[in-house]
Structure 1
Amino acid sequence: MRINKIEFTKKVPSDRVKHVIDQEKIECSKTSIETMFDGIQEKKPHTLEELYKEYRYAGKTAVNIFECTDFPEGLKVKEGFLVHLKRKLNITSALIGNELKPEITTVPQINLIEDLGEAVLLQWVSGEKKIGYDGYEVVERIVPSFEYMMIRFGDPIFIELRSGFSTHKKYKEALKSLLSTSADNIPNIDWLPVTKVTEAEAEKISEILEAGLLESEVIGEGCIGKLAVSAAPGIDDLKKQEQYKSMVAGREYLAQVFHVDYREVDTGYSTKVKFRINHKGGFEFKSKVSERIIRRILDVFVEVRYRKESDQGNNEAVS
């Protein structure tokens, strides 16, 4: 796998890279993530690939999950879904792992398909026309945008969108078109948001994760505007502060930013994870995270929303 250094530094946190260097006893400069990248690439390129795989589709990202009812019956199994994709996209070569490189338009199209075992990842590409300078000449370019969607097969089927909440509609419409067998047979999908939670659900999630509240936005005085509150240095949980509780008492929450201590038992890696819940809809990680961290945090959302005991596994713990 050829790894783009710019993408690597955007997605992978420096503390994770330092942990790998120390664990693997790689001798290299740790002055910046770029020098660490070069050192691992030179000494242990396979280790660099494995590390990048953990963050390739993650990083600092919005992640919103929908339960999809009325998913087309013949496509509820991964194998049937992949057969449909190959036919729909008229692909004659290998379906998995090959960039399709469609013409970039304002309408999202599939560029890449990956089989992740329990899920299928779709990389969508779309473009926006922008005017700028090329030297002294004014030119019009199409600037591409890449977004990820995961179809998680099971009962029920979950669709995971890694894009801002305000952009969801066009990707939902693009998926419906992709699932259709003809222009007259567009499926009707009921999108039930899993990551849109109530105040009580957000409180339960924070309790399970033992998360501290760092920031919040609540309705302002007389239901006008909003009041934003941030924790002062040294305060790791606003919920434990009497002054804060009196400030927000009786006010409706608009958004909350939490942080949790994350630890992987098998690798020894530990870090702080920061995420934002928007109570009007939307969820995003404010720190760079791996697939394992995303699954750990969002499994708790599913547990709370569906009142199920999630399998928390033996590999990671939040304490």
Structure 2
Amino acid sequence: MKFRSVPVTTIRKLAMKNNIKHRGKDIEDVIDELIENGHKDKLDYLQQQYTFAGTNLTLIKTEDDFPESCKTSDDFLNKIIKDGHIRKDQINHQWEPKLRPGIHICAIQKRNNDVYLKLVVEKTAVRKKGYTTIEESYASYTTVVIHFSDQVIELRCAFTDRKKFAEYLMKMMGFGESYDKWFSLTKTTKLEAVKISNLLSAGLVSTRINIPSSVGALRIMAKKQIDLRVDRTYSKLKEVISEHANLPVDDIFDEVCEFTITDPVAEIEIPASFEIKLKKEGFKFNNSVPEIVYEQVIEAFIRVNYLDKEKALEEKKLNFKV
């Protein structure tokens, strides 16, 4: 399918926005009609937005500064070309390397001082065939992004795979013996989760509260367009549990938030739902989102979990000196 990285629902939404009939039509026909009506540029833009899309996110900060050989995106590209990881003509392209053990680059793109890499790993699955079972291999993709200006690395892999992909990338960058020395910027407290939600104008739609009793935990889910953070019924419910059952309600397992942005190029609304796991340092999107959403979420995380903390630490040092 053309523009295969773009979700079908997004293509149909673009068609609806531009008064192109799409219901009951094959998606290829919808794409052809969009192109015929002069919207190929928007489809190309959306393809770029979703090429490195995913649902997972971990931001990490290395304990040591980036190596001198990788201070900028150009430095990094020159290094991995010299080391034989890619060819120069593969920059800003995607390809399909032969599936084999280990992590391999299958796409790379430079955007200003950021570098996006799509990595592929061979995995196997067992399926039935007749009376027997057969093992087949398939390509499993993960995206990592290096933000050289902030010296932050973005891992879009599953939480359990963070160590593997972080070490692969840091070794490639030339960190030497400190290739495994990093800390997460997506480890979030309840207060920080509120700040991030506020920066994104994201409403709280679901939360799971730890209840130290025979109940164990309580999942609260809001009705559509209700923000639990400002909902009176939710506040009263917590009061009842706290005052009448004498149980704490401030120990939170996770929070699910939602927000919507209007894409300035495609001119369509993009919904985003994300979950912050306060107990496990995890963060994930509940739907595939484009780069414009990733950028806003990352900016909020860096501001709350790093820049604000650095600023507070500097102010504390100044006050101490006075």
- TM-score w.r.t. the length of structure 1 is 0.79
Larger deviation, residues 7-16 vs 121-130: 7-16
Shift of 1:277: 0.9
The change in CA–CA distance for 1:117 and 1:86 in structure 2 (over 3 A counts) is same
- Aligned equivalents of 2:141, 2:134: Cα separation in 1: 22
Alignment equivalent of 2:103, drawn from 108, 117, 124: 108
Which runs of at least 4 in structure 1 moved beyond 6 Å after TM superposition?
Answer: none
- Equivalence for 1:287: 287
- Aligned equivalents of 1:204, 1:90: Cα separation in 2: 40
Q: CA RMSD in A?
A: 3.1
| 1:121-270 correspondence runs (5 A) | 121-133=116-128, 138-154=133-149, 156-180=150-174, 185-222=176-213, 225-233=216-224, 235-237=226-228, 239-240=230-231, 241-246=234-239, 247=241, 249-264=248-263, 268-270=267-269
The change in CA–CA distance for 1:48 and 1:91 in structure 2 (over 3 A counts) is closer
Q: SS at the partner of 1:111?
A: strand
Q: SS at the partner of 1:273?
A: strand
Asked if the contact 1:3/1:49 (under 8 Å) is kept, the reply is no
Alignment equivalent of 1:36, drawn from 26, 30, 35: 30
Q: Does 1:96 align with 2:91?
A: yes
| 1:37-116 correspondence runs (5 A) | 37-44=31-38, 45-58=40-53, 61-70=55-64, 71-89=66-84, 91-92=86-87, 94-99=89-94, 101-116=96-111
- Equivalence for 1:316: none
Q: Which has the larger radius of gyration?
A: 2
How many pairs were matched up? 297
The one-letter amino acid of 2:235's match is E
The change in CA–CA distance for 1:16 and 1:238 in structure 2 (over 3 A counts) is farther
Long gaps (5+) in structure 1: 310-319
Deviation per CA, 1:172-220: give whole Å up to 9, x if none. Answer: 1221332349xxx454353221222111111122233332211112223
- Equivalence for 1:301: 301
Q: SS at the partner of 1:196?
A: coil
Asked if the contact 1:151/1:157 (under 8 Å) is kept, the reply is yes
Asked if the contact 1:164/1:282 (under 8 Å) is kept, the reply is no
Q: SS at the partner of 1:197?
A: coil
The change in CA–CA distance for 1:308 and 1:33 in structure 2 (over 3 A counts) is farther
The change in CA–CA distance for 1:194 and 1:15 in structure 2 (over 3 A counts) is farther
The one-letter amino acid of 2:125's match is K
Asked if the contact 1:151/1:160 (under 8 Å) is kept, the reply is yes
Larger deviation, residues 275-284 vs 240-249: 240-249
- Equivalence for 1:312: none
Q: SS at the partner of 2:7?
A: helix
Long gaps (5+) in structure 2: 243-247, 310-322
The one-letter amino acid of 1:160's match is E
Deviation per CA, 1:86-138: give whole Å up to 9, x if none. Answer: 12225455140344544423422212211122211111110122222456764
Q: SS at the partner of 1:89?
A: coil
- Aligned equivalents of 1:108, 1:297: Cα separation in 2: 27
